[in-house]
Amino acid sequence: MSEAFRVTIWHEFRHEKRNPVVSALYPQGMHAAIADGLRMFGDFDIRLVALDDPEQGLPEATLNNTDVLVWWGHLAHHEVADALAERVQQRVLDGMGLVVLHSGHMSKPFRRLMGTGCMLKWREADDNERIWIVNPGHAIARGLPERIEIEAEEMYGEHFDVPTPDELVAISWFKGGEVFRSACCWYRGAGRVFYFRPGHETYPTYYHQDVRRVIANGVRWAAPVGGAAPLRGNTQPVQS
């Protein structure tokens, strides 16, 4: 099977323009580093878009030609048009994959698809993060070690206000004692949603080999499976 999924990486791309720490870490933007990570682990057809692009980076033609949408946002969730968030939600229900990273937990498309508040505890204090794979048979665990060690990250702690994941792949432990469901899968309509926690903008997390592998595996897991579109509504018997 060809693996050339059309992956669109949507990035808010604002921190890099106002915080020199972030632009030094990610001179081409975090989305470029995420794309480089994907290329290490798959033959993906990648497009980078940003909030400040025309039509907020996602004109209908782009969205309709995306198999998996990767989303990183933080400062400007409220600027994303409700109509765009609704189109993303609809595309997922129709079969598009959505991979939401880090602070994207509060993005409009993710919150619409979850139907809950999606908030959590957080702390910026250079905690080390230990991500334990709790479902080693899952497709997203492919090629990963038993645990992923990140030297310093922002802490996210439970309770994470999301529906119980359909599949939980990993949980994080932080130096401060908190834990977090950090790699979560949901099915929505014909589509799939994968949330992966790490990736605060002031850390080099998207250069971490195992983090990159999780994202690549997540994109592959979320890709449309190509099943028939179900017919709904009033219907004749299959057999008379």
By CB under 5 A, name the binding residues for Zn ion. Answer: 103, 154, 200
Question: How far apart (Å, rounded) are the C-alpha atoms in residues 226 and 95?
Answer: 8
Nearest approach, Cβ of 161 to Zn ion (angstroms)? 17
- Of all residues in the shown chain, the one whose CB is closest to Zn ion is 200
Give the C-alpha distances (Å, rounded to integers) separating 142 from 70, 102, 136, 145, 217. Answer: 19, 21, 8, 9, 7
Nearest approach, Cβ of 91 to Zn ion (angstroms)? 26
Nearest approach, Cβ of 179 to Zn ion (angstroms)? 17
Q: Are strands 191-196 and 97-101 parallel, antiparallel or unpaired?
A: parallel
Q: Which residue has the tokens 């997390």?
A: 205
- Which residue, 39 or 123, is less far from Zn ion as judged by CB? 123
Output the CA torsion 180→78→204→97 (10° steps). 70
Give the C-alpha distances (Å, rounded to integers) separating 197 from 4, 160, 194, 222, 227. Answer: 25, 11, 10, 16, 29
- Which residue, 67 or 154, is less far from Zn ion as judged by CB? 154
Question: How far apart (Å, rounded) are the C-alpha atoms in residues 17 and 29?
Answer: 9
- Which residue, 122 or 173, is less far from Zn ion as judged by CB? 122
- Which residue, 200 or 220, is less far from Zn ion as judged by CB? 200
Nearest approach, Cβ of 200 to Zn ion (angstroms)? 4
Q: Which two tokens stand for residue 8?
A: 């669109």
Nearest approach, Cβ of 234 to Zn ion (angstroms)? 48
Nearest approach, Cβ of 157 to Zn ion (angstroms)? 13
What does 79-118 look like in DSSP terms, one character per residue? GS-HHHHHHHHHHHHTT-EEEEEGGGGGSHHHHHHH-S--
Q: Strand, helix or coil at 217?
A: helix
- Which residue, 86 or 161, is less far from Zn ion as judged by CB? 161
Nearest approach, Cβ of 199 to Zn ion (angstroms)? 7
Return the closest-CA partner of residue 6 out of 70, 68, 91: 68
- Which residue, 67 or 201, is less far from Zn ion as judged by CB? 201
- Which residue, 129 or 154, is less far from Zn ion as judged by CB? 154
